[in-house]
Amino acid sequence: MKRTFTFKTLAVLLCASFIATSCKNDGIETEIAGPSAAAFKEMRAQSLQDLTQTKTFKAEDGVVFTSSKGAKVTIHPNCLRDASNNLVSGDVALSFVEIYDRGNMVMTNKPVMGKDASGNLLPLVTGGEYNIQVKQGDKVLKPGCTFSVTVPAANTGGLDMDMKLWKGNINEAGDLVWEEVNPEGQGKEAGIGPNTETARYDIWGDSFGWANVDRFYNDARPKTQIKVVVPAEYNKENSGVFLAYEGEPNVLALLDTYDSKDHFFSEHYGFVPVGLNLHIVFVSESNGAVAYAIRKVKIEDKGVITIGKEEIKRETKSNLVNMINNLK
């Protein structure tokens, strides 16, 4: 009897110890580590690299490159020049990135915010953004003639006749800002023509880099400036806050300012429509993994939304991209 009691007691203790250890390990696995600015920057850079498609060709032959999503880049023979404007020959490498979805915009920090005539940054509706780079070795090349790109409108839900061409530049804060190409009429050097016969956007340009098919998002409701408060350890160097508008899969806005005193993200211009339903998308990193929180809200005038630390979870990059793209 005594031996039986001892054995049962030992078994219970071992089982309790196993459960406690398992719970402790689960806690470690799900715990959100403090964010690293360097790791967050690397995560964004790797996300962009994961989307990069490449093609080697001879400069004197030119190239017609078709991307994985059906965009076509045409660079004519003997078109490429070096920094001194010398004609380039021999093997060169084309790099091409295309983004049509909000999930990859978030992960690469490539939202669609464009300057209006007053210089204000406002949300855009995108028909696709892309980046072209051509190099010979470590030397960045430029076009010496007009090249062309065609983008399938089906990638963003269909042809929009109001779309314009925009060029993108990375500002001092590291954010991609879009400016319309020659808004006086989309000039001869660069422009766009929606093609109803092919259901594509026909684009021509005279410089490589970031470009975008866009128009301004339009909503007649009164606008407001919101604040998104985050836990104190997060800031603009190690995290980002985006706005995914409900029913607008081709719109992704960015809150591009951060207040270090009160720990909130906001923006300069008060562009968010009062009464709009949207998803707040917070993204950071935790020990090299993606950390995120998503909150659905209805915008109130001068609204303040607080993201609690308990809301932040870890996820794989691909799963988070899918989650964002599936937001309604």
pLDDT tens-digit map of 193-211: 999 999 999 999 999 999 9
Single-letter code of the amino acid located at 156? T
Asked whether residue 22 carries a pLDDT value surpassing 90, the answer given is: no
3-state secondary structure of 146: coil
Going by the DSSP 8-state scheme, the letter that residue 143 receives in this structure is E
CA distances from 24 to 17, 19, 21, 29, 325 (A): 10, 9, 5, 9, 34
DSSP type of residue 87: B
Note the CATH number of domain 45-216.
2.60.220
Q: pLDDT by residue (tens digit) across 98-114?
A: 999 999 999 999 999 99
pLDDT of residue 182: 77
Residues spanned by CATH 2.60.220 within the chain?
Answer: 45-216
Q: Please check the confidence at residue 231 and state whether its pLDDT lies above 80.
A: yes
Residue-level pLDDT at 187: 55
- Angstrom distance (rounded) from CA 157 to CA 165: 18
Closest CA to 179 of 168, 187, 191: 168
What number of CA atoms fall less than 13 Å from residue 326's CA on the CB side? 6
User: With 60 as the cut, is the pLDDT of residue 18 above it?
Assistant: no
Backbone angles phi, psi at 23, to 5 degrees: -65, -40
Q: How far apart are CA 320 and CA 293, in angstroms?
A: 10
> Which residues does residue 228 pair with via DSSP β-bridges, in sequence order?
265, 305
Are 106 and 95 a contacting pair, CB within 8 Å? no
Helices (H) and strands (E) in the chain, counts: 4, 26
CB-CB contact of 169 with 177 (8 Å): yes
7 pLDDT above the threshold of 80: no
Q: How confident is the model at residue 21 (pLDDT cuts 50, 70, 90)?
A: very low
Pick from 192, 184, 142: nearest CA to 166: 192
pTM of the predicted structure, to 2 decimals: 0.89
* Per-residue model confidence as pLDDT tens digits over 264-296: 999 999 999 999 999 999 999 999 999 999 999
The structure tokens listed for 193 are 């023509």
Residue 321 has pLDDT above 50, yes or no: yes
List, in sequence order, the alpha helices (H) in 76-211: 102-108
The stretch 72-88 carries a mean pLDDT of 98
Residues of the chain with CATH 2.60.40: 219-325
Which residues neighbour 304 within 8 Å (Cβ) at sequence distance 6 or greater? 226, 227, 228, 229, 264
CATH of 219-325, one of 2.60.40, 2.40.160, 2.20.28, 3.30.1490: 2.60.40
Q: How many CA atoms lie within 13 A of 141 on its CB side?
A: 24
* Predicted pLDDT of residue 285: 98
Location of structure tokens 């300069």:
268
